[in-house]
Amino acid sequence: MTKRNVSTTKKTKPVKTTKKVNTSSETVQTEAVQSEAEAEVQPLEKNKAKTAKKETEKKETKKPEKASKKEAEKTEEEPLTPEAVEEPASEKPKAEEYTTPRRSVAFIGSECYPFVKTGGLGDVMYALPKALIKQNCDVKVILPRYKCIPQEYQEKMVFKGSFQMDLCADGKSFYVGIMEYVWDGVVYDFIDNEEFFASGNPYTNLIDDIPKYCYFAKAALAALNYMDWVPDIIHCHDWQAALVPVFLRVKFVDTKLTSAKTVLTIHNLRFQGIYNIPTIQYWSGLPDYVFNKDALKTGYEDANMLKGGLTYSNIITTVSNTYAGEIQNSYYGETLDAHLRYHSNKLRGIVNGIDYDIWNSYTDDRLYVNYDITNVLEKKKENKHKLQEELGLVQDDHKFVIGLISRLTDQKGLDLVNSIMTQIMDEHTQIVVLGSGDQRYEDSFRYYEYTYKGNVCSNIMYDETRAHRIYAGADALLVPSQFEPCGLTQLIAMHYGTIPIVRETGGLKDTVEPYNMYSNMGNGFTFDRYDAGLLLDAINRAKSLYFLNRWCWDEMVQRDMDKNLSWDNSAKQYKNLYLDLT
């Protein structure tokens, strides 16, 4: 379908438009404007500075239109006003990106979209570096070169060098190759070693994963040292990269890298990289003194890689402010609550964002019909009708369609959904499920699809296109998690005009403001305690507003779409954190 840009920005005449080349700081003007500007630039010197600044702010988010030959001829006949003259030197293409000092950052993690992704970590490793470039950061992402990385990326990688690295306690060394790929201004360096990364999948089992990520953590630092690239910040993610701060402080003290500060981000505290001390000590080659109760040791005979990283890093971050507080108590702390309370002075919470290049209802080519905030109320109905048709549901605009896009596990609150499913379903409600996981939940939703044929569709799989279409076609999205460090589904849902129904935990609490019927404010429906009855009440409140006060519901849809959920705000917070550290 033909797409058009919808903007409220006032357009200027083509005669006053300049064509900008983003690859440099120069502004190239059309010959017609340039010839007259040279004649009039002196008497207009004082007026044009202010005018050019205003014009620049208006045009900042949209590309200038090209002047046609006819318009160029018209330019020669019409005298230029002060508003028509812009000073090339006064314009910077992206001035707001350079308001803070430049910092270099090395991201180290186990996965990154589009090369390899199993969860939210892959999205963060892709989107946050891109956003940081706009904040005047020089970013390099270091990843394992898994065999499962698509060939289209493998064949574009450039060999940057190789060396042997001592790793094990007995002095055994391993090959380290560096393959580089540059995309969207971000440099991706892949650590190449067939012995560790040839299995295909990033995560197999703990017996194989412990040696793999001991090797990867040290190889990432060794690669930086080999390339002579010394970042201001080394930003590590989850337990797979948690030994990086330990290696840096213990094994790289006599290198240039010792000047770098380390940040360790916890994406999900449940996964910590715990194994017996002899195994981790052998594969890391770390000395005895780091295997104490204040660093890596946990219990009587185990080592905890994440715990060691928390101890040795300069700053600890989590993916939401509420989660940063929750993990300091025993219910959410996964046995590390006391350790985190001890290090609470360096613990921060910064909520994730979503990548608008991927998640944008106006440009998303996976949708049946594209839309934006100006026509969402009409176009979502079309997407809903098409979704019902594709999934074999009763095609009825009157139905209240609830989406559930999730891993089918206890963490996601599916035991609550199971216990009230019969009460949720009525003649006005449809449910669409997308995801896979525990067998008992997969079987449960298959049963519900059979029992409520035409009103429940259970897609026991994950399909990216179908996910996009559910976000666009559903009226509400259910996220009743037991705990949720950040959550991306509720952010995507709001950006697509789908109302979230969530439990007040972690990032769900930070991003979804509960609807207030008296002030008609808020952007979703919430419940606090982990209780099936409270979940049912939240769903019924959503239904009541949808059927009885549709205008209030429609206003909430538009409020959600208007909310800034991009990575911009998060990237600014990370940049400020980096500046504070350095």
What's the average pLDDT block by block, 10 residues per block, for the chain (582 residues)? 40 38 36 39 40 43 42 42 42 54 96 90 94 94 95 95 96 96 94 91 91 97 96 97 98 95 96 96 96 94 97 97 96 96 96 93 96 95 96 95 95 96 96 95 96 96 94 97 94 97 97 96 96 98 96 97 94 96 93
* Residue 46 confidence (pLDDT): 40
* Residue 568 confidence (pLDDT): 93
> Is residue 374 within 8 Å of residue 4, measured between CB atoms?
no
Count of Cβ atoms closer than 10 Å to residue 9 Cβ: 12
Which among 529, 440, 532 has a CA at the least distance from the CA of 483?
529
- Domains and their CATH numbers in the chain: 14-93 (no CATH), 101-139+207-349 (3.40.50.2000), 376-562 (3.40.50.2000)
State the angle between helix axes of 243-250 and 277-284 in degrees (0 to 180), rounded to the nearest 10.
Answer: 60
* Residue 19 confidence (pLDDT): 36
391, two tokens: 């999934």
* Residue 551 confidence (pLDDT): 96
HSE toward the beta carbon, residue 379, CA cutoff 13 A: 19
Residue 326: exposure state from Cβ atoms within 10 A (0-12, 13-18, ≥19): buried
> Is residue 110 within 8 Å of residue 238, measured between CB atoms?
yes
pTM exceeding the 0.85 threshold for the entire prediction: no
Say which residues have a Cβ less than 8 Å from residue 227's Cβ, sequence separation at least 6: 160, 161, 178, 189
> Is residue 232 within 8 Å of residue 260, measured between CB atoms?
yes
* Residue 322 confidence (pLDDT): 96
> Is residue 332 within 8 Å of residue 269, measured between CB atoms?
yes
Say which residues have a Cβ less than 8 Å from residue 403's Cβ, sequence separation at least 6: 431, 432, 434, 470, 471, 473, 474, 476, 477, 478, 493, 498
* Residue 25 confidence (pLDDT): 37
* Residue 199 confidence (pLDDT): 78
